[in-house]
Amino acid sequence: MKPLSIVIPVYNAEKTIESLCNTLISLYSDMYGLEIVLVNDNSNDSSDLICRRLYQEQPERITYLRLSRNFGEHCAVMAGLNHASGDLCVIMDDDFQNPPDEIIRLLEEMEKGYDVVYTQYTIKRDSFFRNLGSIANDKMANLILRKPADLYLSSFKIINRFLLGEIIKYHGPDPYIDAIILRATDNIGKVPVRHDERKTGSSGYTMKKLISLWGNMVVSCSLIPLRIIGIVGFILTVFGAYMGFDALIDWIIPTMEDPTEYETLTAVTAFFRGFQMLAISVVGEYVGRIYLSLNADPQFVIREKFSSPGKGQFKSIQKVHTYNDKEKCSSTTA
């Protein structure tokens, strides 16, 4: 049977995660060599106890990682990808908004040879606030990531082993997985699926988290904002130079009216402010490139790992730290 991994970031999912895992096992364990990787992003409910029990009941199918603090969804997914061993890997949420029975449609689409297949929702069952944030995120991704306009960057997707290996090569502390995917491949498929209502609770994406996610996209994945500043600075510099030249001509030619103090001040201010912005942009370009290549803060720290021997042996060059109750601190390769 073909190995299939399903990575699920878990956050305050005590009411859904057990049912979700049981549903996935009943649907796909007979068709694929199924592996479910649960990554507990420091939930403050009983998710840890439930995930431990799920591992104890299905150690051959479930790998459980408990992070030492809340790192965020994308970092939790990166932790899961570093421990996924399947030839294909599905990434999905823990709240049943991504229907388990729709995974078969992603698997069928992957047979066409894509590196990644994104899901497209005909109707999104999120709140108005969340949908508004998704629209803003989509438009920003078109500009910052040069994303195709007709592609929706859903968290519910499937990737192959080649792309998984490329994703986990990323070392930065604030991964934006879709940006890494878009810079690694353009062999992208999409398939329409249902988007169901949340069974319990509400979305964990607050305005603060959405702004942080947008910040990661803008700062960690692109130098376009610096280049926009440079363009604005260049325009102001040209405008200031034009105003200054016009004022100089007025002053040299006696028949023309002398420039006013306001015109002179405007020309000087526009020129020097534009030049400053242009200089900041150039310096920022160098600093940004250094930041993108050298920042090596850990994406995630695994406090405990529960996995059967021999599972999740695909190695990456990403260094992470693992802590557990018996070992105070040991450095491992994910």
pLDDT at 27 over 60: yes
Mean pLDDT of the 202-231 span: 64
Question: Do the beta carbons of residue 114 and residue 189 sit within 8 Å?
Answer: yes
**Could you tell me which residue, 311 or 189, shows the higher pLDDT?**
189
CA-to-CA distance for 148 and 152, rounded, in angstroms? Answer: 9
User: Can you give the pLDDT at residue 218?
Assistant: 64
Judged against a pLDDT cut of 90, whether residue 316 lies above it is answered with no
330-333 β-sheet, strand order: 188-193, 116-121, 157-160, 88-91, 3-10, 33-40, 62-67, 301-306, 319-322, 330-333
Average the pLDDT over each of 81-85, 184-188, 325-329 and give the range with the smallest value. 325-329
pLDDT, one tens digit per residue, over 155-199 is 999 999 999 999 999 877 778 899 899 989 999 999 999 988 866
pLDDT for position 232 = 79
103 strand-pairing partners: none
Indicate left, alpha or beta for 96 from its phi (over 0: left) and psi (-120 to 50: alpha).
Answer: left
Between the CA of residue 55 and those of 22, 59, 61, 274, what are the distances in Å?
12, 5, 8, 60
Question: CA quadruple 248, 252, 256, 262: dihedral positive or negative?
Answer: positive
Mean pLDDT of 284-300: 66
The span from the CA of 75 to the CA of 73, in Å, is 6
CA distances from 139 to 136, 143, 181, 237, 243 (A): 5, 7, 17, 30, 36
Q: Identify the DSSP state of 67.
A: E
Instruction: Supply the DSSP symbol for 219.
Output: I
Identify the CATH homologous superfamily for domain 3-222+297-333.
Spore Coat Polysaccharide Biosynthesis Protein SpsA; Chain A (3.90.550.10)
Q: Any idea where the domains of the chain sit in the sequence?
A: 3-222+297-333, 224-294
Tens of pLDDT, residue by residue over 224-264, are 776 777 787 788 788 778 777 777 777 777 666 766 777 67
Q: Is the pTM of this model over 0.75?
A: no
% the chain with pLDDT above 70: 71
Per-residue pLDDT, averaged over 27-55, amounts to: 96
DSSP state of 310: T
